[in-house]
A and B are shown apart, each in its own frame.
Chain A
Amino acid sequence: MKKFNIEFTVGLFVLAGILCLGYLSIKLGGMELLGNQGYDVYALFSNSGGLKQGSSVMIAGVEVGRIRSIGLDDYQARIVMNLNQGVKLQEDAIAAIKTKGLIGEKFIEITPGGADKIIPPGGKIRETLPPVDFEQLISKYVFGKVE
């Protein structure tokens, strides 16, 4: 009887540990288990610059959604974003890929536009800006200097 109790408790602790691990990985990975709320929009970028699934979508530094998927479409990066319900994007909103700090992770920053038309669920953000490639800019400057 005593033996069974110890095994039972250990099992309970292991189970609790696994549950905690699962919770942590879901939280840290930015996944959502219980169905996504909000709606999807997509955008085509000439370069996704190492953006990842689950990266943030921000307006004025506030997270308003996450990246659902990244794929290739006619040699351009097609990025599907899941935006929170209640976030409205005007047709001329600009989506730009930016870096947190100088070498931080990539995210999408949206600057709201002034058009009357709102992008519907499943719609396309037409105005996009690829990440600024500092390496390329510096190399251009450097090689410009050499000659």
Chain B
Amino acid sequence: MVNHRLDRETAVPLVLMMVMVFFWACPAWAGMPTEKVKETTDKILAVVSDSALKDPAKEAQRRERIRKTVDELCDWEEMSRRSLGRHWAQRSDQEKKEFVHLFGQLLERTYIDKVEGYSGEKVIYAGERIDGDYAEVDVRIVTKKNTEIAVLYKMRKRDQKWWVYDMVVEGISLVNNYRTQFSDILAKSSFEGLMKKLKEKSAE
């Protein structure tokens, strides 16, 4: 008898708690890192495989749409800051802004061709790890020749949204790659020299 009464007493708060957890968990789940990567990837693939945009004359329009989609996923400032490493703090706000712009352009030029070369590769979402405000999303790209390419998206939460700040392809990190290159250039010449090089690259 005593047992029954106890059950009823604990049941009400228990159900309440479950309902609360459910509602609290829902919005958080909708914004999971994998979801965000998947959403953006799907959008880009839709643009790339859109036959209406295949026309070479529409290249600019197509690239514009890809860039806009990627902008929603990537935190360019964080990426630039990490790539420039310890040189970032020494720059003025104006220089930082200009650098973020040029670095974004450099990445766009380097990678957009690769994205546009898409020919039906499969994308598998292999899992994610969340650690506080940081997350890693494991993605495998399966080519038509059945080889798997491992891509790891490193993400960070900012303003309640997940943003990519680094990409690791087969163990090679984008940020680390540019960080070593930039520090090499900065050791040999100056920040102005680096900016000049970036400008030349994006004007090519």
Contacts and interface: CB of A to CB of B under 8 A. Distances in A.
A95 to B, nearest CB: 10
Interface stretch (B26-34, B38-46, B117-125, B173-181): B173-181
A94 B147 contact: no
A111 B85 contact: yes
A113 B146 contact: no
Contacts of B176: 94, 96, 111, 127, 129
Given A129-B172, A129-B173, A114 B89 contact: yes
B86 A113 contact: yes
A129 B81 contact: no
Contacts of A147: 145-146
B170 A144 contact: no
Contacts of A111: 85, 176, 179-180, 183
Interface string A110-123: 01111110000000
Contact of A127 (B84, B89, B166): B166
A89 to B, nearest CB: 11
A92 B82 contact: yes
Contact of B170 (A92, A94, A126, A137): A137
Nearest to B166: A127
A132 interface: yes
A114 B147 contact: no
Contacts of B146: 147
Given A96-B176, A129-B176, A114 B86 contact: yes
B191 interface: no
A132 B172 contact: yes
A143 interface: yes
A142 B183 CA distance: 34
A126 B166 CA distance: 12
B171 A112 contact: no
A7 interface: no
Nearest to A139: B147
Contacts of B148: 140
Contact of B168 (A115, A116, A129, A140): A129
Interface in B153-181: 154, 166, 168, 170-173, 175-176, 179-180
A144 B147 contact: yes
13 contacts: A92-B85, A111-B179, A112-B86, A114-B81, A115-B81, A126-B134, A129-B173, A131-B171, A137-B170, A140-B147, A144-B147, A147-B145, A147-B146
Given A94-B173, A113-B86, A144-B145, 9 more contacts: A92-B85, A94-B179, A96-B176, A111-B85, A111-B176, A113-B179, A114-B86, A115-B81, A140-B148
